[in-house]
Amino acid sequence: MKVGFIGLGIMGKPMSKNLVKAGHDLVVYDFKQSSIDELVALGAKGAKSGAEVAAECDTIITMVPNSPHVRAACLGENGISDTAKPGTVVIDMSSIDPVESKKIGAELAEKALHRTDLVGIRKTWGQFRENDAPFGGNQDRGECRLRPDRESDLHSGPGAAALRHGANRKIRGLPCYQ
């Protein structure tokens, strides 16, 4: 399976590196060319846009700063929805407004794309391991075809991961959504 990753910042870059190290066929995109180059040097393929990532991948992960960035990556000009094949799974790992998360998911569903939000929680940025517990919300359980063995993960509907992640940040006294 070829995986796409959009957003190579403080969280996305280490996660992408781990995917490459694990042997996954990865296509990456970010606004910073130096971040793309770093991943290409490790074995990933670089792309010039989210649309280029989507044209090559059946599964795409987004890890971008906030709600407008997720909307642009998924539905904007040269975004995922421009070239994604029906049935493509879009996994958003960004910390965004749960209402906007639901709206984006519904708009992608109109284009026959499966969308889930999945937010991992760690104390140290970018250090995700196999056994970390993700917070997962989903439009249509499209992610189950990726990890059918993970039925025990939390699944509670579209936007739920963003909502739980926001609650966790609020309890810890951190800002929630943008």
Dihedral-angle region of residue 102 (phi above 0 means left; psi in -120 to 50 means alpha; beta otherwise): alpha
pLDDT of the residue at 97 = 83
| Chain segment 10-42, per-residue pLDDT in tens | 889 998 998 999 899 999 999 999 999 999 999
In this prediction, residues 56-67 reach a mean pLDDT of 93
In this prediction, residues 78-84 reach a mean pLDDT of 97
pTM of the model: 0.77
Measured distance CA(108)–CA(100) in Å, rounded? 12
pLDDT of the residue at 152 = 43
Domains contained in the chain, CATH given = 2-171 (3.40.50.720)
Mean pLDDT of all residues in the chain? 78
**Cβ–Cβ < 8 Å for 26, 16:** yes
pLDDT band of residue 153 (cuts 50, 70, 90) is: very low
In this prediction, residues 120-140 reach a mean pLDDT of 46
pLDDT band of residue 175 (cuts 50, 70, 90) is: low
